[in-house]
Structure 1
């Protein structure tokens, strides 16, 4: 989040260049950054005259240049925001040449913001011109620590504080990206109302766990012999729209991780290398290595074979999904 805090500091100090490129996956912060520029530049009662918001996918580059060259009305600066720009992915043409000419000598009375979700080609002349005359900011996804600090700050604005357990549960349940985090945080803060402490029970009441987290919880319950809890977790997945066959595939993938990850770790591979081999994320491997201690390798190999039988029985109609899975859990993992 360092890049965003640096941007905020520059805006507060009035160091605003004539052109920005906002790109990268953290689009929630794109919007926050644009709002910061609006608050800093659009003052004096003539805001509607000095703001142009343009859809880059529907607008030719020459129209963007025309908007950027307009003179501000009763103000020092105009703000032109071009969202969803395609220009960094297109082949050079007349329109891009006009935009390149503008970026080489941008109007000092306009702040032009070019916004695009995802990556851009840094070899393009447009990108090089932006970095020469202004600033290009890659809005990379935040680390877990940064997300936790952001959640704490936003909750504090509403007079609420998360307990450590509640924060851990919240972060493990919310989708990636601050947009999803903000939506789920809003639900939690609405639910707790004027309460000062947000507990793990509060989070569990309104935030559904991610399917990956639910699968971990199901397999944890199986390893501990809590079969009713395992079935409850499966019901959570079906309520979230997962199909029975999709759930069986997720369970098979999880048991396969538990079988393979310890072997790779024993061979001397580090967690990131194991994650690359198994095509998943390092935090998933860390959890899998801890979870695998609840099972012996023979159980895991038998589980994979058992899931194939359940899959065949469900597909052919010999068994219904929930009874078949309950029998699989109890017969395969009873202590």
Structure 2
């Protein structure tokens, strides 16, 4: 937990965290907990409720409960609008907040996203004229409203550089751009990859673009996709070159696992395509990122279902032979890639 983040969180009665940047929302909550613990030098009583399943009676009971173990209590209501759907709910909430117990802090989480409208970015669910603003103002309770929109792809390199600085590391500009290209605006993965890269180069090192490509798991998935594109295009030379590059950096077993996963992915994509489905159906059936699902659907067109199933059977046989010592994975993978690329 960053000490400076905790110091920036004031101690008030009500916290509203709005947006689709879930990482920033989590950081704010952690900073709040750290600040309250530091202020009172005590442990906190934290109650986490979900607006999708919590009714008003349960919420009222939780908010008015007195802690037996700590003088400070925090009630966190995620997806708050699911419980506060009607304007009439504002009157109920306003009355409840006016009687908020002393030393009880309420955090309302409002998942929301922005879109461009009439020259500016505006929130979709809770706009500036939403009734909840008036309700909170009339409660006369101290409060903080923090907005956390998810960074756009164009904003990601700057976000990455800020995160690098907060972690005490150093990135080249090209390294930040490369990481942004690989992870998109998946902030949780971006933070993990930054931590990994800084640890790899050491406290005084500078992370380069090559370091990012070496370490980032998303980069390796991109390499596997590219290799299968080369196989589908019957470009054996390029496919083998990519495989050899992977083998230089990673264990053969790891590459085998990624390759087998990719073939399974293409089989699922082929099934969806042959059933007349598209990207939405692929995402629904597999839980994949839409971008990955789109790429898999495009790539599976290079192979018939029979070819994909045959490749998968060969991979299964290769794994068995490697486990029994009949052959080594790196050699049989090179042979397989050469054969199916012709």
Q: TM-score range by the shorter chain?
A: 0.5 to 0.7
Kindly indicate whether the alpha-carbon contact (under 8 Å) linking 2:161 and 2:171 is maintained by their aligned counterparts in 1: yes
Where structure 1 has 5 or more consecutive residues not aligned to the other structure, the ranges are: 1-7, 74-78, 261-273, 293-298
The one of 248, 264, 284 equivalent to 1:249 is 264
Are the counterparts in 1 of residues 182 and 219 from structure 2 also a CA contact under 8 Å? yes
Distance change >3 Å, CA 48–CA 288, structure 1 → 2: same
Question: Using the alignment, how far apart are the partners of 2:296 and 2:262 within structure 1?
Answer: 18
Report the equivalent of 1:132. Answer: 135
Match of 1:226 in 2: 238
Describe the shift of the 1:240–1:17 C-alpha distance in structure 2 as closer, same or farther (beyond 3 A).
farther
Equivalent residues in 2 for 1:1-335, closer than 5 Å: 18-22=13-17, 26-34=21-29, 46-48=39-41, 52-57=44-49, 61-66=60-65, 80-83=73-76, 85=78, 100=93, 102-105=95-98, 107=100, 112-114=105-107, 129=132, 132-133=135-136, 139=148, 141-157=150-166, 158=168, 160-164=170-174, 166-174=175-183, 177-195=186-204, 197-209=206-218, 212-222=221-231, 223=233, 224=235, 225-231=237-243, 233=246, 239=254, 242=257, 246-252=261-267, 283=291, 301-302=302-303, 304-313=305-314, 326-327=334-335, 329-334=337-342
Post-superposition offset of 1:64: 2.2
Secondary structure, aligned partner of 1:56? strand
Two-structure CA RMSD over aligned residues (Å):
5.6
Matched residue count: 282
Q: Deviations over 1:227-276 (max 9, x none)?
A: 3344455977952894775332224467899x99xxxxxxxxxxxxx855
- Rounded to whole Å, the distance in 1 between the matches of 2:185 and 2:199 is 21
> In the superposition, relative to structure 1, how do residues 113 and 156 fare at CA in structure 2: closer, same or farther (>3 Å)?
same
Q: Aligned partners of 2:280 and 2:96: how far apart in 1?
A: 41
TM-score, normalising length from structure 2?
0.55
Match of 2:55 in 1: none
- Cα distance change on mapping 1:303 and 1:23 into 2, 3 Å: same
SS of the residue 1:197 aligns to: coil
CA distance, structure 2, for counterparts of residue 22 and residue 60 of structure 1: 18
Q: Relative to 1, partners in 2 of residues 1:128 and 1:242: Cα closer, same or farther, differing over 3 Å?
A: farther
User: Could you list the per-position Cα deviations for residues 85-128 of structure 1 after superposition, in whole angstroms to 9, with x for gaps in the alignment?
Assistant: 58766799xxx999836545265976833355968xx79xxx96
Displacement after TM superposition at 1:199 (Å): 0.8
Change beyond 3 A, Cα 1:114–1:176: same
Could you tell me how far apart the structure 2 residues matched to 1:319 and 1:306 are? 20
Please give the alpha-carbon distance, in whole angstroms, between the structure 2 residues aligned to 1:128 and 1:52.
31
TM norm structure 1: 0.56
Q: Is the 8 A contact 1:18 1:112 kept in 2?
A: yes
Q: Which runs of 5+ in 2 are unaligned?
A: 51-57, 113-124, 138-143, 323-328
User: Distance between the aligned counterparts of 1:245 and 1:97, measured in 2?
Assistant: 54
1:133 positional shift: 0.6
SS at match of 1:226: helix
State the match for 1:3 in structure 2: none
For residues 319 and 253 of structure 2, the distance between their equivalents in structure 1, rounded to whole angstroms, comes to 20
